[in-house]
C-alpha cells in the first residue's frame, strides 16, 4: 500500500507562544487506499474554496512514489512556506488524517471510522471565510475552518486550519458523530458536553503525539504535565490572538460540577475534560515513577508521557463504542470507560479507581457506586445464534423483542425500538507476560445497540407540548470467539432514576435557555427563503401532546459567543 509523507504544523509559528525547534513536522499517512491532488483520499477531501469568489483554488499536486518506492508526497516547497495555500491544504489534511488514524488504532477502535453522513469522504474547507471559529457540520459532510485578523496585530491573519489542536478538535467531533450519532440530537447538556470534551481530548492527544511539542513542553516544565502547559491549553494561539487567552484549559484541579456550571455545554465540558486530564496526569506521574532509576524523573518523562497517553487514549476513546445510544450522562460515559477496561483487565484496578475518584470529587456522580459496573453474566447469550444476530436484521430484532432480549437489553414492555447495524471489531488489549514482555491479545467483538424513545414531562410552559421524547438505549458487546458477554450498558432512565432526574432538570434548563436565545420556538418551524427550515434554528418535531428535538444546532462550533 502506498504511504505518503505529509508535513503539518507543529504549532502556528508566527503566533505560537511556545517556541519549538521546528515549525512543521512530518507524518506518514498509511491508512488511505488512494491519493489525489487536493489532497483527496478515500476518507478526506480538502476543498480550498474561496469564500469571496466561490471558486475552488487549485489543490496541491500529488507526487506518486518513484518506481520501486512506496513513499509518495505532496508538492510543497521544502522547507515549506507556511503562509502558502498549498502548505495550508497539506497541513490541515495531515492533521485530520493523524486524528483519524489515532482513533483507528488497533488498541482503540480497531476499525475504520465511519461518518454520520452517508458518504465516504469528510470534506475539509481550510479557509472557509472570516469568522473567529471553526466547525463540524454533518449536513454538509464538512469541517470548515475560518480565519480572522489578529486582535493584537491587525495586519496578521490567524488561520484556524493551521492550528493543530483546533483541527484535531473538529475532527474529533466528526469522528464521534459517526460513533454516537444520537449525541447530535441529544438535549441533555452533559451529552453535548461529552461531544466537546472528546473533541478537546482528541486535540490533547494529537498534540502529545508530536515529538517536537513533547520535547518543548517537557523541557519547559522539567518533565511534568501537572500544571498548565501548552498541552492543557486548548486553542491557545486562537485565544491569544483574540486577546483572551486559551479557549479552555484542561488543567483545573478545582473545577467541579455545581449550580454555576450545569446547563451550558462548553462550561460542562470543562469539568469532564479536567477530570479526565487529572487522570492522565496521575498516569504520567505513575509511569515516571516506574521508569525512573533515580530521583530525577525528567529523563524518562517523555517515554512516560507516550505510555501514559497510549493507555489514556485506549480508555477514553475506546469507551465511545460502548456508550449506550441516546442521551448520555457523565456517569454513562464513566461506566463506558470502566466496563470494557474491567472486562479486559479485571485485576488492574488502579486507573479505574483514579477515574472514579475524579468523577466523585468533581460531583459528576453522587458517589463511587454510580460507576460500579456489575459484569454481565458471561453466559447471558447462551443458546443464541450469535452469527445470525450479526448477519440478519430480522434475527437481531426478533431476539431483542423476545422476553429474554427485552429483559437483557432493558427495553420496556410494549415500547417500539430500533436496532443499529451490528459492528464487528478486532481490538488489541495490551497485556504483559510474567517476565514483563508484551503479550498483546486480540479480541474479536461484536457491538449490538438497541434504542427507543422515552417520554418525560416538558416544563417549557404552555406554548410547548407538555411532554417530550428523548432517545435512550442499550449497548451490548460479546466476544465473537467465546460468545461471552463482555459489556452491557444501558441509559434506560428507570435503571438510574436519580441520574435521570438530574438530567431531566438540566434538559429543562438548557431548553429554557434556547427559548431565551430564540433558537427554540413554539409552533411550526420557520421557513427560510427557499422554503426549507432555517439553517440555525432548532429542528423540532411536535404533535399536540409531545415534542422531540431533532437537532439543537446544525454545527458543533469550536467557540461560542465569539461573534457579535
Partner 1 sequence: MNKLRVRVYNVLFGDAILISVPDAAPGESPALRHILIDVGNSLVTEGGEDSVFKKVVADVLTELAGQPLDLYIMTHEHMDHVQGLQYYQTKVLHGQPIKDKLQTRYAWLTRSAHPDYYTPGTPGYHPNAKERKRLEQVFLDEAREYFQAAPDEQTDWVRGLLAINNPRKTDDCVSILRDLAPAHTHYIYRGMDLNGTHPFREATFEIWAPEEDTATYYGQFHPVAFGAVAGIGPSGKPALARVEPPRGVDAGAFYNLLDWRRRGYGDNLLSIDSAANNTSIVFCLNWRGWSLLFPGDAEVRSWKEINKRSLVKSVHFLKISHHGSITGMPPEDVLGELLKADGTRRYVALSAYPDLEKQARGEQEWTYPEVPRQEVLGKLKSRADLQQTIQVADGGYIEYAFAGGTSNVTIGTSG
Phi, psi of 274 (to 5 degrees): -65, -40
How big is the CA angle at 454 (ends 449 and 458), to the nearest 5 degrees?
Answer: 145
Chosen residue from 5, 26, 34, 375 binding partner 1 by CB under 8 A: 34
Query: Is the Cβ of residue 302 or residue 525 nearer to partner 1 in the bound state?
Result: 525
Chosen residue from 66, 243, 438, 518 binding partner 1 by CB under 8 A: 518
Q: Is 264 in the site for partner 1 (CB under 8 A)?
A: no
Alpha carbon 210 to its chain centroid, in Å, reads: 19
Alpha carbon 199 to its chain centroid, in Å, reads: 4
Nearest Cα to Cα of residue 525 among 550, 508, 546, 507: 550
- How, if at all, do strands 539-542 and 546-551 pair? antiparallel
Chosen residue from 8, 9, 10, 40 binding partner 1 by CB under 8 A: 40
Q: Is 383 in the site for partner 1 (CB under 8 A)?
A: no
Task: Please give the residues from 198 up to 257 whose contact with partner 1 meets the rule CB under 8 A.
Answer: none
Give the range of 34-42, 170-178, 221-229, 382-390 binding partner 1 by CB under 8 A: 34-42
Torsion, Cα 308 325 173 469, to 10 degrees, reads -140
Give the range of 255-263, 418-426, 460-468, 498-506 binding partner 1 by CB under 8 A: 460-468
- Name residues whose C-beta falls within 8 Å of residue 334's C-beta, 6 or more positions apart in sequence: 355, 356, 359, 364, 365, 370, 371
Q: Looking up cell 523541557, which residue turns up?
A: 219
Chosen residue from 258, 412, 461, 498 binding partner 1 by CB under 8 A: 461
Task: Please give the residues from 337 up to 366 whose contact with partner 1 meets the rule CB under 8 A.
Answer: none
Q: Is 37 in the site for partner 1 (CB under 8 A)?
A: yes
Q: Is 375 in the site for partner 1 (CB under 8 A)?
A: no
Q: Is 1 in the site for partner 1 (CB under 8 A)?
A: no
β-sheet bridge partners, residue 409:
none
Task: Please give the residues from 55 up to 114 whose contact with partner 1 meets the rule CB under 8 A.
Answer: 55-56, 59
User: For partner 1, what does the binding mask look like between residues 46 and 65, x meaning CB under 8 A?
Assistant: -x-x-x-xxxx--x------
Query: Is the Cβ of residue 394 or residue 536 nearer to partner 1 in the bound state?
Result: 536
> What are the cell numbers at 219?
523541557
Task: Give the nearest distance from C-beta 112 to partner 1 in angstroms.
Answer: 18
Q: Is 522 in the site for partner 1 (CB under 8 A)?
A: yes
Query: Is-cis flag, bond preceding 79, omega within 30?
Result: yes
Chosen residue from 90, 108, 116, 128 binding partner 1 by CB under 8 A: 128
Give the range of 4-12, 133-141, 235-243, 394-402 binding partner 1 by CB under 8 A: 133-141
Q: Is 131 in the site for partner 1 (CB under 8 A)?
A: yes
Nearest Cα to Cα of residue 36 among 66, 8, 68, 74: 74
**What does R_g of the chain's alpha carbons equal in angstroms?**
24
Burial class (CB in 10 A: 0-12, 13-18, 19+), 85: middle
Chosen residue from 84, 130, 290, 441 binding partner 1 by CB under 8 A: 130
Q: Looking up cell 465569539, which residue turns up?
A: 562
Q: Please, are residues 90 and 8 in contact by the beta-carbon 8 Å criterion?
A: yes
> What are the cell numbers at 373?
459496573
Task: Give the nearest distance from C-beta 144 to partner 1 in angstroms.
Answer: 8
Phi, psi of 448 (to 5 degrees): -125, 120
Query: Is the Cβ of residue 317 or residue 547 nearer to partner 1 in the bound state?
Result: 547
Burial class (CB in 10 A: 0-12, 13-18, 19+), 165: buried
Query: Is the Cβ of residue 19 or residue 535 nearer to partner 1 in the bound state?
Result: 535
Task: Give the nearest distance from C-beta 123 to partner 1 in angstroms.
Answer: 5
Task: Please give the residues from 528 up to 557 whose contact with partner 1 meets the rule CB under 8 A.
Answer: 528-530, 532, 534-537
Task: Give the nearest distance from C-beta 400 to partner 1 in angstroms.
Answer: 34
Helical (H) or strand (E) element with 509:
helix 497-516
Q: Looking up cell 491508512, which residue turns up?
A: 31
Query: Is the Cβ of residue 114 or residue 221 nearer to partner 1 in the bound state?
Result: 114
Residues near partner 1 (CB under 8 A): 34, 36-38, 40-41, 45, 47, 49, 51, 53-56, 59, 119-121, 123, 125, 128-131, 137, 139-142, 144, 146, 461-463, 515-519, 521-523, 526-530, 532, 534-537, 563-564
Amino acid at each position: 500500500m502506498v504511504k505518503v509523507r505529509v508535513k503539518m504544523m507543529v504549532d502556528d509559528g508566527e503566533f505560537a507562544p511556545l517556541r519549538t525547534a521546528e515549525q512543521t513536522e512530518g507524518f506518514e499517512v498509511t491508512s488511505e487506499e488512494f491519493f489525489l491532488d487536493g489532497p483527496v483520499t478515500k476518507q478526506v477531501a480538502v476543498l480550498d474554496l474561496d469564500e469571496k469568489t466561490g471558486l475552488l483554488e487549485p489543490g496541491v499536486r500529488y507526487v506518486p512514489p518513484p518506481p520501486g518506492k512506496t513513499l509518495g508526497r505532496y508538492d510543497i516547497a521544502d522547507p515549506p512556506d507556511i503562509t502558502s495555500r498549498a502548505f495550508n491544504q497539506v497541513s490541515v489534511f495531515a492533521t485530520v488524517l493523524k486524528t483519524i488514524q489515532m482513533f483507528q488504532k488497533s488498541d482503540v477502535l480497531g476499525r475504520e471510522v465511519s461518518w454520520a453522513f452517508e458518504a465516504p469522504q469528510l470534506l475539509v474547507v481550510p479557509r472557509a471565510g472570516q469568522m473567529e471559529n471553526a466547525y463540524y457540520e454533518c449536513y454538509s459532510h464538512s469541517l470548515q475552518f475560518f480565519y480572522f485578523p489578529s486582535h493584537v496585530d491587525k495586519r496578521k491573519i490567524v488561520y484556524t486550519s493551521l492550528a493543530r489542536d483546533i483541527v484535531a478538535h473538529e475532527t474529533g467531533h466528526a469522528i464521534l458523530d459517526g460513533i454516537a450519532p444520537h449525541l447530535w440530537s441529544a438535549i441533555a447538556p452533559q451529552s453535548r458536553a461529552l461531544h466537546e470534551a472528546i473533541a478537546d481530548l482528541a486535540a490533547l492527544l494529537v498534540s502529545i503525539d508530536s515529538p517536537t511539542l513533547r520535547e518543548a513542553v517537557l523541557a519547559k516544565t522539567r518533565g511534568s504535565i501537572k500544571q498548565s502547559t501548552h498541552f492543557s491549553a486548548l486553542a491557545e494561539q486562537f485565544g491569544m490572538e483574540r486577546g483572551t487567552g486559551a479557549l479552555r484549559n484542561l488543567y483545573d484541579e478545582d473545577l467541579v460540577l455545581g449550580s454555576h456550571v450545569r446547563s451550558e455545554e462548553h462550561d460542562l465540558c470543562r469539568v469532564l475534560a479536567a477530570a479526565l486530564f487529572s487522570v492522565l496526569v496521575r498516569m504520567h506521574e505513575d509511569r515516571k515513577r516506574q521508569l525512573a532509576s533515580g530521583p530525577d524523573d525528567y529523563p524518562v518523562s517523555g517515554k512516560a508521557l507516550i505510555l501514559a497517553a497510549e493507555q489514556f487514549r485506549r480508555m477514553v476513546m475506546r469507551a465511545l463504542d460502548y456508550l449506550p445510544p441516546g442521551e448520555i450522562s457523565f456517569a454513562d460515559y464513566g461506566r463506558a470507560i470502566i466496563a470494557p477496561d474491567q472486562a479486559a483487565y479485571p485485576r488492574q484496578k488502579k486507573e479505574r479507581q483514579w477515574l472514579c475518584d475524579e468523577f466523585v470529587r468533581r460531583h459528576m456522580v453522587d458517589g463511587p457506586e454510580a460507576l460500579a459496573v456489575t459484569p454481565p453474566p458471561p453466559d447471558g447469550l447462551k443458546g443464541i445464534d450469535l452469527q445470525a444476530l450479526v448477519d440478519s436484521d430480522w434475527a437481531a430484532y426478533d431476539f431483542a423483542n423476545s422476553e429474554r432480549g427485552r429483559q437483557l437489553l432493558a427495553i420496556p414492555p410494549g415500547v417500539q425500538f430500533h436496532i443499529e447495524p451490528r459492528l464487528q471489531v478486532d481490538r488489541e488489549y495490551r497485556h504483559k507476560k510474567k517476565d514483563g514482555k508484551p503479550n498483546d491479545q486480540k479480541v474479536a467483538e461484536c457491538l449490538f445497540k438497541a434504542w427507543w424513545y422515552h417520554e418525560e414531562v416538558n416544563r417549557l410552559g404552555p406554548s410547548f407540548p407538555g411532554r417530550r421524547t428523548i432517545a435512550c438505549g442499550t449497548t451490548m458487546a460479546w466476544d465473537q470467539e467465546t460468545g461471552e458477554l463482555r459489556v452491557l450498558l444501558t441509559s434506560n432512565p428507570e435503571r438510574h432514576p436519580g441520574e435521570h432526574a438530574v438530567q431531566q432538570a438540566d434538559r429543562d434548563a438548557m431548553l429554557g435557555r434556547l427559548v431565551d436565545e430564540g433558537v427554540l420556538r413554539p409552533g411550526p418551524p420557520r421557513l427560510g427563503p427557499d422554503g426549507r427550515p432555517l439553517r440555525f434554528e432548532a429542528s423540532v418535531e411536535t404533535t399536540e401532546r409531545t415534542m422531540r428535538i431533532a437537532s439543537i444546532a446544525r454545527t458543533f462550533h469550536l467557540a461560542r459567543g465569539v461573534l457579535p
